[in-house]
Structure 1
Amino acid sequence: MNKKLIGVVAVAGIAAVGYFGFFAKHNTANDATIYGNVDIREATLAFRTGGRVAEVKVDEGTIVKKGDVLARLDPEPLNNNLQSATANVAALAARNAMMHQGFRQEDIEQAKAKVQAAEAALVNAEKQLARQTSLVTEQATTQHLLDDVRSARDQASAQLKAAQQQALEMQRGYRKEEIAESDALLAQARANLANAQLAVSDAVLVAASDGIVLTRAIEVGTMVQSGTVAFNLSLTKPVWVRAYVPEPQLGRYPAGAHVTLETDSTSGKQYHGTVGFVSPTAEFTPKSVETTDLRTSLVYRIRIVVDDADAQWRQGMPVTIRSAK
C-alpha cells in the first residue's frame, strides 16, 4: 500500500514539474520586456570656407536652436572678393551684350568712310607713280624718288584692303565662335560671383538643428581652413533607443508599434515611443547586452523613436522597453 502511494506521489510530482516547466518556458517566450540603450545622434559642424575667426557665440554645454549663430569669420576679405567678382560680371555682361547686338550703325558708316579715304589715297598714289615713271623715262627725276612713290602706292593699296576687310567684318557682325567664347566667359564669371556670394554666407556658422554643444574647437583669431571642425553638437531631436529583440518576441515589435520605456534614473517614470525600424537581418547578441545564456542567440536590431524624452536622457543610458500590447 505504501509502495502504491509512493508511486502516485512520484507521478504527480513529475507531472507538476512538467507543467511548471512548460509554463515557465511559455511565459519566457511571451515576455514583452527587452532592453536597449539611448542612441543620440551627433553632428560635426565646420565652416565651408576658410578665414580668421572673428566671433564665437557659444561654448560647451550651450543649448542651441536650429538657425542660431554659433560663430563668424572675418568677412572683409570675402567681401572684397565679392566686389571684384561683381565688377567682372558687369564688364563681361556689357561686352557680351555688344557682341550679340553686333556693331552700331555709326561704326559701320565710319568703316565705310575709311574705305573711301583709302580708295582716294590709292588713286592719288597711282597718279604719283605714273607721273614719276614718265619723268624717269625723260630722265627728269631719279630712280630713288620713283622707288619711294612706288612704295607709297603699295602702302596705300594695303591700307585699302585692310579698310575693306574691317568694313566687311563690321557688316557681318561677330563670328559665332567669338560670341560663344563671350557667352562662356560670362557664365564662368557668374559662377565665380555665385561662389563669392556663397563664401560670404558661409562665413556665418549656424546650427542646423536643435542640440547641445558638446565640444568647441575654435577661438577668436584662429585661422581655419575649409572643413576644419569647429563644434560637435548633440542633437536633442529625435532621441532614439537601440534595442535587440529575440526571434520569439519579434512579433510584438513590428515597425509602427507603440512601446513604453523606463530608465534607471527616473524612478519608474514611463516614457512612450514608436518602433521606427526593424532590421531584416538577424545577428548574434551584441557584447553590450549579452548574457551567458544568450551568447549564441540570434536577435533583430530595432530602433525606437522616443516621443516624450526629456533632459534626463543621455547617450548610452540603459532603457527597459515593454510592448504596449
Structure 2
Amino acid sequence: MKRLFKIVILAVIFISVGVVGGRWFIKMKNNPSATEFKIYGNIDIRDVNLAFNEQERIAETFVEEGDRVKKGQVLAILQTNRLEAQIQEAEAQIAAQQEVVKRLEAGTRPQEIEQARAEVAAVKATVRNSMLNFERISKTSGTGATSQQALDNARAQLDVDMARLKVKEKGLNLALEGPRKEDIAAAKNTLEALKAALSLLKIRLADMTLISPSTGIIRNRILEPGEMASPNQPVVTLALTDPKWVRAYVPEPDLGRINLGMKAKILSDSFPEQSFEGWIGFISPVAEFTPKTVETEDLRTKLVYEVRVFVHDSEDLLRMGMPVTVIVDNTVRSDASGGNCAPAQG
C-alpha cells in the first residue's frame, strides 16, 4: 500500500513538472520578447581629421569628397624640393666624414714618415753648422778678431736651430705613433651623428606623404594644392566605415537585460528585406535623465543609458544618422574573432 502511495506521489510530481514546463515553453515560444530586447537608435560613424606632420605647401591632392579609400592609400603630398636638397647635403657630409674616419684608421702614410725623418736630418745638419760657427766665433772673439755682436748672433742662431730640431723630432714621433684613439672615436661619433640627422630627414620626407590609416570615405576635402599645410591644420576628413555603430539609449529598468558582447540584429526601414549582424560594444557607466535632470520618484524610471551597438556593414549601406531598430538576443554573447569581442566600458 505504501509503495503504491509513493508511486502515485511521484507520478503527480512528474505530471506537474511537465505541465509547468510545457506552459513555460509555450509562453516563451509565443512571447519572443522574453529572450529578445528591442531598442531604437541612429547610425553613427567615427571621423578622423588627417593632417601632415610637416609644414609645407601642398603639391597635389589625389582624392575628392565621397571617394572610397583603402588603408595605406596615398591621399596627398607636400612639396619636397627643399627637404630633398637637405638630404643631398647630409649625404655629402656623411661621405666626407667617412673618408676622414678611413684616413684616421689607416694612420700616417709611409711617405709622410720618411718626409718627417728627412726634415729632422736637415735640421740636425743646420744645428751642427750653427754649433761649429758659434765655436769658431767664440775663439776669435776672445782675441778681438770678431765683435761681441757676432758672437751673440751666432749663439741666437744656434738656439733657434736647436728649437727647430725639437719641433721636427716631435713631428716625427707623432707620425710614427699615428692618430690618437680619441681622435678616431670622435670622428666616428661625428659620422654617427650625421647618419642620425639623415635618418631624421628621411622620416620627414616620408611624412610629406599623407596616407590613409584605415578604410573609409572622404567626407571633407579641407585644403587644396598650393595652400600651406601644418600639423594642426587637417587636410581631409575620413569617415571610418568599419565597424559602424548604432547609438541608442536603454531605459534604466531595462538595463539589466543587456550585457557587453550580446549579439544583436539591426533592421532599417530602407532595407526591409535585409538585416545586419552586430554586438553590444559599449554601455555607458553614467545615466542620463530624460527629459530633464530631476531625480524624483516619478522621473527616476526615465533614466537612460547610452549603448553602442557595433555593426559590420561590408556593403556600406547604412548611412550616418539613419534610424534603425536593434533587436538584442540576450541569450547569446558574441565571442567571434575579428573585433566581435566586447571592448571595455568607458
Q: Does 1:200 align with 2:205?
A: yes
Match among 101, 111, 116 for residue 116 of structure 2: 111
* Most deviating of 96-105 and 184-193: 96-105
Question: Taking structure 1 as the reference length, what is the TM-score of the superposition?
Answer: 0.76
Q: Secondary structure at the match of 2:64?
A: coil
Contact 1:31 1:249 in 2 (8 A): no
Match among 264, 283, 292 for residue 286 of structure 2: 283
Q: Does 1:46 align with 2:23?
A: no
User: Take 1:208 and 1:249, find their aligned partners in 2: how far apart are those partners?
Assistant: 38
Structure 1 equivalent of residue 214 of structure 2: 209
In the alignment, structure 2 segments of 5+ residues that lack a partner are 1-30, 332-346
- CA change 1:204–1:153 in 2 (3 A) is same
Query: Residue 168 of structure 1: CA displacement?
Result: 2.5
Query: Residue 85 of structure 1: CA displacement?
Result: 0.7
User: Take 2:246 and 2:209, find their aligned partners in 1: how far apart are those partners?
Assistant: 33
Query: Residue 89 of structure 1: CA displacement?
Result: 0.7
Q: Secondary structure at the match of 1:273?
A: strand
Structure 1 equivalent of residue 91 of structure 2: 86
Cα deviations by residue, 1:284-321 (Å, 9 ceiling, x for unpaired): 1276999995676364x554331235433233444422
- CA change 1:110–1:286 in 2 (3 A) is farther
Structure 1 equivalent of residue 172 of structure 2: 167
- CA change 1:293–1:152 in 2 (3 A) is same
- CA change 1:265–1:183 in 2 (3 A) is same
Query: Residue 251 of structure 1: CA displacement?
Result: 5.9
Question: Taking structure 2 as the reference length, what is the TM-score of the superposition?
Answer: 0.72
Query: Residue 175 of structure 1: CA displacement?
Result: 2.9
Q: Does 1:75 align with 2:80?
A: yes
User: Take 2:115 and 2:320, find their aligned partners in 1: how far apart are those partners?
Assistant: 81
Aligned length: 297
- CA change 1:162–1:287 in 2 (3 A) is farther
Match among 222, 227, 234 for residue 229 of structure 1: 234
Q: Secondary structure at the match of 2:274?
A: coil
Contact 1:46 1:228 in 2 (8 A): yes
Match among 54, 63, 67 for residue 62 of structure 1: 67
Q: Does 1:297 align with 2:303?
A: yes
Structure 2 equivalent of residue 187 of structure 1: 192
Structure 2 equivalent of residue 4 of structure 1: none
The AA in structure 1 aligned to 2:303 is S
Contact 2:242 2:312 in 1 (8 A): no
Match among 233, 256, 263 for residue 261 of structure 2: 256
User: Take 1:177 and 1:241, find their aligned partners in 2: how far apart are those partners?
Assistant: 67
- CA change 1:289–1:96 in 2 (3 A) is farther
Report percent identity of matched pairs.
35
The AA in structure 2 aligned to 1:285 is E
Contact 2:290 2:303 in 1 (8 A): no
- CA change 1:39–1:118 in 2 (3 A) is farther
Query: Residue 245 of structure 1: CA displacement?
Result: 4.7
Please give the root-mean-square deviation of Cα atoms over the aligned residues, in Å: 3.4
User: Take 2:138 and 2:230, find their aligned partners in 1: how far apart are those partners?
Assistant: 79
- CA change 1:53–1:37 in 2 (3 A) is same
Query: Residue 193 of structure 1: CA displacement?
Result: 1.0
Match among 148, 153, 162 for residue 157 of structure 1: 162
Query: Residue 234 of structure 1: CA displacement?
Result: 1.2
- CA change 1:160–1:283 in 2 (3 A) is same
Contact 2:245 2:309 in 1 (8 A): yes
Match among 162, 173, 182 for residue 177 of structure 1: 182
Structure 1 equivalent of residue 337 of structure 2: none
User: Take 1:302 and 1:128, find their aligned partners in 2: how far apart are those partners?
Assistant: 109
Q: Secondary structure at the match of 2:146?
A: coil
- CA change 1:141–1:260 in 2 (3 A) is same
The AA in structure 2 aligned to 1:205 is L
In the alignment, structure 1 segments of 5+ residues that lack a partner are 1-25
- CA change 1:267–1:99 in 2 (3 A) is same
The AA in structure 2 aligned to 1:173 is G
Residues 305-324 of structure 1: pairs in structure 2 closer than 5 A: 305-308=310-313, 310-324=315-329
